[in-house]
């Protein structure tokens, strides 16, 4: 298992998990999100090719409309 920090909390994932896999496993596919790994924003088009590593810090931010 792979241990990461997800929005400040410990989170276990299978080895060889990408950002895309993480989004899918969290049930957030298709939502308007921004993801950062170790404080670096990763563009959506790179999520599939961005593997997660042990102790990575991942921040998931959801876009919320308002006025």
Domains of the chain (ranges; CATH) run: 2-62 (3.10.20.30)
- Is the Cβ–Cβ distance between 19 and 59 less than 8 Å? no
List the beta bridge partners of residue 4: 11
Q: Given a cut of 90, is residue 49 above it in pLDDT?
A: yes
Work out the percent of the chain whose per-residue pLDDT is above 90.
91
Enter the tokens of residue 14.
């299978």
**28-37: pLDDT as tens digits:** 999 999 999 9
What pLDDT, on the 0 to 100 scale, is given for residue 67?
Answer: 65
Q: pLDDT at residue 19 above 90?
A: yes
The answer to whether residues 22 and 50 touch, using CB atoms and an 8 Å cutoff, is no
Sequence length of the chain is: 67
């Amino acid at each position: 298992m792979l241990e990461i920090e997800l929005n400040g909390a410990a989170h276990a994932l299978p080895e060889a998990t990408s950002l895309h896999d993480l989004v899918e496993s969290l049930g957030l596919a298709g939502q308007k999100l921004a993801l950062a790994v170790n404080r670096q924003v990763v563009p959506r088009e790179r999520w599939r090719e961005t593997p997660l590593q042990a102790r990575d810090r991942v921040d998931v931010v959801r876009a919320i409309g308002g006025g």
